[in-house]
Amino acid sequence: MKKPIKIGIIICNRYRTCAGGKCFRALRNREGAFGLYKDREVELVGYTSCDGCPGGNVEYAPAEMKKNGAQVIHFATGLIVGYPPCPHLFHFRDFIKAKYGMEVVMGTHPIPQGYYDTHAALGTWKSAEWQDVIAPTLTDEKTRLAYS
């Protein structure tokens, strides 16, 4: 097995009271975006919210996570599936990559079916850019239902 990878997770402040159950289950089962690590040990070294729009904590939290060894930051699926999706998502990604030289992965757990249906009806994710964003968490319907 490869050397363990250390990750941090940043969640949307709308869900700041989230206990992380779906993210942690997906991490344990290597589902959704955590499928990237199916053959690797993963250590979670940080979990926090963005601190609300416009994401003041995004400026500082990655530094703390990096001090704890984080190599990758995951934006929680809630930033992608909330109503509306995070309007700062791409700025956050670009900032973390430029400032901290860290990889950023869009998403954690699989998209729950209800969110998938709503955004499909709204046409939220039709663009090529959004197709790239949801790709790590877009699973089959059975898995989406298991996360609903």
How do residues 24-39 score in pLDDT, each as one tens digit? 999 999 999 999 999 9
Residue numbers of the domain that contains 48: 2-146
Separation of CA 107 from chain center: 3
Mean pLDDT of 7-23: 95
Phi first, then psi: give them for residue 41, nearest 5 degrees: -80, 140
Whether 1 has a pLDDT exceeding 90, the answer reads no
Q: Is the pLDDT of residue 3 over 90?
A: no
Residue 1 CA to residue 77 CA, distance in Å, equals 27
Mean pLDDT of 82-105: 96
CATH number of the domain within which 121 lies: 3.40.50
pLDDT, tens only, 45-66: 999 999 999 999 999 999 999 9
Q: Give the percent of the chain with pLDDT over 90.
A: 97
Q: What angle do CA 109, 111, 114 make, to 5 degrees?
A: 140
What distance in Å separates the CA atoms of residue 60 and residue 69, rounded to the nearest whole number?
15
pLDDT of residue 88: 96
pLDDT single digits (tens) 99-114: 999 999 999 999 999 9
Asked whether 111 and 77 are in contact (CB, 8 A), the reply is yes
- In tens, the pLDDT along 134-146 reads 999 999 999 999 9
Name the DSSP class of 140. -
Within 29-77, strands assigned E span 40-49, 72-75
- Is residue 2 predicted with pLDDT exceeding 80? no
Is residue 122 predicted with pLDDT exceeding 90?
yes
Task: Name, in order, each residue with C-beta under 8 angstroms of 17's C-beta and a sequence gap of 6 or more.
Answer: none
The model carries a pTM of 0.94
> How many separate domains does the chain show?
1
